[in-house]
Amino acid sequence: MKRRLCMGLVAVCMLMALSGCGKAEGAQAEGGAAKESAAATATADEKGNYLVNGSFEEPDFTGWNVTNIDNVTEELDIYTRETDCFEGVQSLHFYSGSSDVNFTAEQTVSGLEAGTYKMTAHIQGDTAGDENASVYFYAIVNGETIKADASLNGYVNWYTAELAGLNVEDGEVTVGVSVKIAPGGWGTIDDITLVKE
């Protein structure tokens, strides 16, 4: 009996070790690997937003594929600081002191009704004087990538990006953000929505 109990406990521990656990506060994307699943089935929340965790209020990157390209972004995590949020108390935070900031975060929603949709997103921060900074939001619709350039204009000086008239025919949209700036760049991204027009 004791032997069976011990073997059962060992099996449970091995399963837990293999499955791993997500990070809670300050969950990070590391090593350039994608984090979290990005295939949600279309269900709108009370505000009509089809994105999962669009305001980053979960303790990790639930719903999002976050890729730290070449593992250069020193801080890429969920930030719990209400003053740095557009909505709620958490946001997606990025910063690098001695290396570039270079990452993407995206989410795919499937099962959408045919029709037109609008993506809205908010970003604030600083490019550390990088004149070649590349910051934009995008949507992939019916195989076509549509971009909306964004800018970092200082602390809590929010830039709002919009992609309207996204004509969804095949029921699927991928939305995302790409940030590539020089060392010293920082900021937060918050309140990304995808709503039916």
**Residue 143 tokens, joined:** 């195989």
Task: Tell the residue number behind the tokens 């570039």, with chain if given.
Answer: 100
pLDDT digits (tens, 9 = 90+) for 130-167: 999 999 999 999 999 999 999 999 999 999 999 999 99
Among the ranges given (17-26, 34-43, 68-77), the one the predictor scored with the smallest mean pLDDT: 17-26
Average pLDDT over residues 67-75: 98
pLDDT at 105 over 80: yes
Give the closest residue to 42 by CA, choosing from 148, 145, 174, 197: 174
pLDDT at 42 over 70: yes
Phi/psi for 62 (5° steps) reads -45, 130
CA distance readout (Å), 90 to 20, 41, 79, 87: 24, 24, 5, 8
Task: Tell the residue number behind the tokens 């929505």, with chain if given.
Answer: 193
82 pLDDT band, cuts 50/70/90, is confident
Its sign, for the CA torsion 55, 57, 59, 62, is: negative
The pTM for the full model equals 0.81
What is the enclosing helix (H) or strand (E) of 18? helix 2-19
pLDDT at 56 over 60: yes
